A and B are shown apart, each in its own frame.
Chain A
Amino acid sequence: MKTVIARRLIALIPMLLGITFMATMLMHLAPGDFLDQVRMQRDADPEYIERLEREFGLDNPWYVQYFLWLKNVVPWDLRSDFGYSFHYKVDVWELLGQRLPATILLSVTSLAFAWVIAIPLGVLAAIYKDSIFDRISSILAYAALSIPEFFLALLALFFAARTGLFPLGGFTSTEFEFMSPVRRFFDVAHHLILPTIVVGIGSIASIMRIMRANFIDNIRSEYVTTARAKGVPEGIVMFRHVFRNAINPLITAAGFAFSSIVSGALMVEIVMNYPGIGHMIFHAILQQDQFVVLGALVMSSTMLILGNLLADIALAWNDPRIRYD
C-alpha cells in the first residue's frame, strides 16, 4: 500500500509539470502581461518598467520563463517560491496559504453534505424501489444535476439578503479579529452554510444514483439470503451487510465527485465572494497575474489528484478484495 501511494505521488510530478508548462505556454499566447497596467499609467518611468521586466524575467522567451519559475518552485532549500502576485502585492505562496484552506474547507464540507443527504436517499430509494418516494427522488436528482451552481448561488444570496439569516458572502465577519475562538468557529460555520449547500447539491444527484443502483444490485446477492438465514434482523442485513458492499463503488465515485465539487466551488466562490483559490484565479486571470494563475492551477490539480488518491486508499480500506501491489 505504501509503495502504491508513493508511486501515485511520484506520478503526480509529470502531471503537474505538464499542466503548468501548458498553462505558461497558453498565457503567453495571450496578448500583454501583468505589467500592462503599469505601462498604461501615463507617468510610468520606462526604466522602472524595464527593471520590473528583468526582475520578473519577462524579457526572456516564455519557455525560459517557465524554467525560471520551475527552478523557484521546486523546494531545493525546502521552501517553494511561487513568485510574486502583482495584483495582490504579496508572495503567491503566502496568498495560496490564505486561500487554499478556505477552498479545501468548502470542498470537504460540500462533499460531506452531499454524502449525508445522498446516501440515505439512495438507500431508501433502493429499498423502496419503484415507490412514489423513489420516483420523486429521481426527479429531484435530475433537477439537482441540471441547476447551474452560479444560479443557485444567486438564489442563495437573494435568500440571505431577504431573510437576513445568513451573511451576504465572504468567509468571516468584519469583527472576526476581535472574536473568541468559539465565536470564530461559529462565525466561519455561519458563512460556510450557504456555499456548502450550493456546491454540494450538484453532487447529490450522482452520488444518490450510484448508491441506489449499487444497493439494488447488492440486495439481490446471495450473501443477503445467508445473513437472513442466520436470523439477522432486516435492518442489520441492510445497513451492515448490504451497505458495506454498496458503498464501495461510491468511494471511487467520491473521487470524481470531488472534481465537480472543486469546479463548482469556483463559481460559488466568485458569486458569493468567498475567498478561496477559485475566487483568486478568476481575478488573477482578469489581471493576467500569471504566477497566481500557475499557483492556483498547481494547487487545484494537486487537490484533485490527492482527492482521487484518498478515495482509492479509502476503497482499499473498506473492500478487503482490493489490495494494491
Chain B
Amino acid sequence: MERPLGLAVLILLGCFYLVALFADFISPYTPPDQSLQKTYHPPTALFWENGRLHVQRYELADPDDMVYRKIEGEGAPVRFFARGHDYRLMGLIPTDRHLFLVDEPDRIYLLGSDETGRDNFSRLLYGARISLSIGLVGIAIIMVFGFLAGGLAGYFGGIWDNLTMRFIELVMAVPGLYLLLVLRGTFPDELSPGQTFFLIVIILSFLAWGGTARIIRGMTLSLRNRQFVMAAEVLGQSPLKIVGKHILPNVFSYLVVAASLSIPAFILGEAALSFLGLGIQEPSASWGLMLSQAQDMKVFMLNFWWLLLPGAAIFVTVIAFNVLGDVFRDIVDPKQKFLNR
C-alpha cells in the first residue's frame, strides 16, 4: 500500500473524529429523545420555499404497516444555529445552539426514526463517539500492559517470562468471542453507561494485550544483550529504570504500531457486544446497538437501510484503521520482522 492512501485515510478519520467531537452540536436531538407519534418515520424530505429551507410534513397513512404520506405543500422551516437542548460543547462550553433544528412538534429526521421515534441521524453521530474512542482508550491500556508484561518478561526471563507467556497462551487458546462473552457474563448487567464503556474496554484489552506483549518481549530479549543495556546494568541501575529508560525508547514505535493494529478488534468487539445486548445499553447510542434494532422484523422489511448505516459506519471506520495500521507497520517495520498478522 502506498502512502497517499495512508494520507487519504488519515483525512477521512480526521473528519470522523471532528463529527464525533461536535456530535451534540451537529445532531438536532439527543439519543434518548423519543417521539412516540413518529415511530418508524422515513427520512424527511427537504424543499425550498420563500428562500428558506423547509422540512416536509408527513401524516401517518397506515398505522399497521407504518406508512407515512407527505402532506403536499406543508412544511416547517429549518432553522440554523437554533436553540435546542442544553449541552456542553466539547464537554466544556455550556450552550444550546445546534447546527439545524425545526420547531416542535415537527421533527427533522435526516435518516428516519426508530421504533420509539428517536432520530437515527443523531444516534449515529453519538454512536460514533463510542466506536471512535474505544480503540484509542483500548490501545492506551494495552500499550501499558503489553509493555510492562512483555518488557519485564523479556528483561528478566526465567520464571516471570515463563508465567507471562503461559498465561498469554492460555488466553489465546480460547476463541476470542467465547472468552469475551464469558468475561462479560461475569459482571452485572446493570451498569451506568460510563461503567459499561470502561468494562468493555478493559475486557477487550484483556483479550488483546497478549499479542503486543509477545512482540515487546521478543524485542526486549534481543535488546537486553546490547552494549548500552549491559553498560547500564554494570552501572547498577535498577531493572525498572533500565526497562523504562533504555528499552522503552527503542521499542516505542513498535509498541504504538503493534497496539494500534488491534484498534479494529476493539471497534468490532464493542459493536458485537452491544449488538448482543451485552454492551452499551439503551437508551444510549452505539453502532452495534443500532444494528441490533435492525433485527426487528418491522425494520427489516420497512426501513432496511438503517441497518446498513451503522453497519457501513463500522465497516468504513474499521477499514480505515486497518489501512492506517498497515501503513504505519510498513513505515516502522518494512520487512515485517516483528509485526505481522
Interface positions of A (Cβ within 8 A of B): 15, 18-19, 22-23, 26-27, 29-31, 138, 142-143, 145-151, 154-155, 157-158, 161, 206, 259-260, 262-264, 266-267, 270-271, 278, 281-282, 285-286, 288, 293, 296-297, 300-301, 303-305
Contacts and interface: CB of A to CB of B under 8 A. Distances in A.
Given A263-B177, A278-B177, A148 B307 contact: no
Contacts of A145: 319, 322
A138 B295 CA distance: 31
Nearest to A287: B185
Shortest Cβ-Cβ A-B pairs, 4 listed:
A285-B185, A151-B311, A146-B318, A146-B319
B254 interface: no
Interface residues of B, number: 39
Given A30-B186, A154-B307, A297-B174, 10 more contacts: A26-B183, A27-B182, A146-B315, A148-B318, A154-B295, A206-B341, A259-B175, A266-B181, A300-B178, A305-B173
B170 interface: yes
B247 interface: no
B283 interface: no
B315 A301 contact: no
B275 A19 contact: no
Contacts of A161: 300-301
A149 B311 CA distance: 10
Contacts of B268: 148
Nearest to B277: A286
A150 B295 CA distance: 11
B307 A158 contact: yes
A150 B178 contact: no
A148 B314 contact: yes
B310 to A, nearest CB: 8
A91 to B, nearest CB: 21
Nearest to A12: B173
B12 interface: no
Contact of B314 (A23, A151, A259): A151
A286 B185 CA distance: 7
Interface string B281-323: 0000000000100110000110010010001001100110011
Interface in B256-292: 264, 268, 271-272, 275-276, 291
A278 B300 contact: no
Nearest to A150: B275
10 contacts: A138-B1, A142-B319, A145-B319, A148-B268, A148-B272, A150-B291, A154-B307, A161-B300, A285-B184, A304-B175
Interface in B44-92: none
